[in-house]
Structure 1
Amino acid sequence: MKKMLFIFLAAFTLAVNAQNTIPKSAVDIAPLLIGEKIPDIILKSSENADVNISDLLKKKKTVLIFYRGGWCPYCNLHLQSLAEAEKQIIDLGYQIIAISPDSPENLKITEEKDKVKYTLLSDSKGELIKAAGIAYQVPENYKTVINVHSNGINTSLLPVPSVFVLNTEADILFEYIAPDFKQRISAELLVSVLKNLK
């Protein structure tokens, strides 16, 4: 009986600790590093279809963007600047994929509003965001907006806005991660990085 009680308490403690592993603030994250791989996780397209991220990454070198959501004006400006630089990025042999906790329906709104032709994917459950090490606990003042934009799936986390440049094996070649959500890599600097990675 004591052994069963110990096992139960150990399992309970592990479950509680697992829920508390998301850092409280954006400055406390521990992102994947250059040389590590982006894990293989199923996300949703704007058409609500399952998308295996590794299948997409195998097709072409990738600029992988994580953004907070279509409700964030800084994210919208960043997505628009990438859309303007998309031809240059494609000419350098890359595709652009942008991921947020937004629901597939809200991705469609962002595509139209920001004139985005590249791929937007939904990670409402935060699985890839957590696996990339860029998730942090939602500040109280954002809980309602992320709940609405994820259709009630996400109430607990946000990604630190991040850019990962990947090869076709999903290895990270370059990353730009800024805990201050107002700071984003410029399209010009990103293009320059891509040129230097060739």
Structure 2
Amino acid sequence: MKKTLFILFVTFSTIANAQNTVANTATDISPLLIGEKIPNQTLKSAENKDVRLSDLVGKKKTVLVFYRGGWCPYCNLHLANLAQIEDQVLAEGYQVIAVSPDSAENLKITEGKDKVKYTLLSDSKGELSSAFGISYKAPQNYKSVINVHSNGVNKDFLPVPSVFVVDTEGVILFEYISPDYKNRISSELLLSVLKNLK
């Protein structure tokens, strides 16, 4: 019996730790799965205020987007596309929240550049992306740019660009994760998913 309990403990500890470590590469990540509950973390808003993710998600079903930063042209295009369909997302009963390692000050720049009205949050320490199991060690050529855009907080990680659709309890209903940062979910596919989740 003790041996069985020990094996169960080791198994659960390994699973829990897999979500809290930074993978070596984008293809080595171990993300949370559909049906699992998202972790709660306190992040910074674009106004540099503490925001508990559970407080936001508890108000409305959420399209939760992780992006690499406002310095990434693929991320900026994705954020701008989300801004264009935000009214349709809202009409389906969802809100949009986008999270990156950028500092609060740099979130403000992204808001203006990409004409974003939805919520942007800063995860400069990578605690949320690591808890989601989507952070990995940044290639050397990215380290200086992520350091600058996080105001010196992030020196070595990137999140794999991801979209999670979660209910008000924080349970994952759908996810789209692509280790190739150039591939993002299309606006049409995302809207179709939201319609079909009802």
Map Cα deviations across residues 9-43 of structure 1 (whole Å, 9 max, x no partner).
xxxxxxxx99x941110000000000011111000
Which amino acid in the other structure matches residue 146 of structure 2?
I
Which amino acid in the other structure matches residue 137 of structure 1?
K
Residue 172 of structure 2 aligns with which residue?
A: 172
Which amino acid in the other structure matches residue 37 of structure 1?
K
Aligned equivalents of 1:30 and 1:40: distance in 2? 18
Aligned equivalents of 1:21 and 1:99: distance in 2? 18
Across the two proteins, how many residue pairs are aligned to each other? Answer: 181
Map Cα deviations across residues 52-71 of structure 1 (whole Å, 9 max, x no partner).
00000000000000000000
Gaps in structure 1 of 5+ consecutive residues? 1-16
> Are positions 1:92 and 2:88 aligned together?
no
Gaps in structure 2 of 5+ consecutive residues? 1-16
Aligned equivalents of 1:110 and 1:66: distance in 2? 14
Residue 146 of structure 1 aligns with which residue?
A: 146
Aligned equivalents of 2:160 and 2:87: distance in 1? 26
How many percent identity over aligned positions? 72
Residue 13 of structure 1 aligns with which residue?
A: none
Which amino acid in the other structure matches residue 172 of structure 1?
I
Whether contact under 8 Å (2:21, 2:130) holds in the other structure is no
TM-score (norm 1): 0.90
Residue 63 of structure 1 aligns with which residue?
A: 63
Aligned equivalents of 1:21 and 1:162: distance in 2? 17
Map Cα deviations across residues 79-103 of structure 1 (whole Å, 9 max, x no partner).
0000000000000000000000000
Residue 22 of structure 1 aligns with which residue?
A: 22
Residue 32 of structure 1 aligns with which residue?
A: 32
Map Cα deviations across residues 134-154 of structure 1 (whole Å, 9 max, x no partner).
000010000000000000000
Aligned equivalents of 1:126 and 1:155: distance in 2? 10
Residue 6 of structure 1 aligns with which residue?
A: none
Aligned equivalents of 2:171 and 2:59: distance in 1? 14
Aligned equivalents of 2:21 and 2:193: distance in 1? 32
Residue 12 of structure 1 aligns with which residue?
A: none
Bigger-Rg structure (1/2) = 1
Which amino acid in the other structure matches residue 148 of structure 1?
V
Aligned equivalents of 2:131 and 2:196: distance in 1? 28
Map Cα deviations across residues 87-126 of structure 1 (whole Å, 9 max, x no partner).
0000000000000000000000000000000000000000
Q: CA RMSD in A?
A: 1.3
Residue 108 of structure 1 aligns with which residue?
A: 108
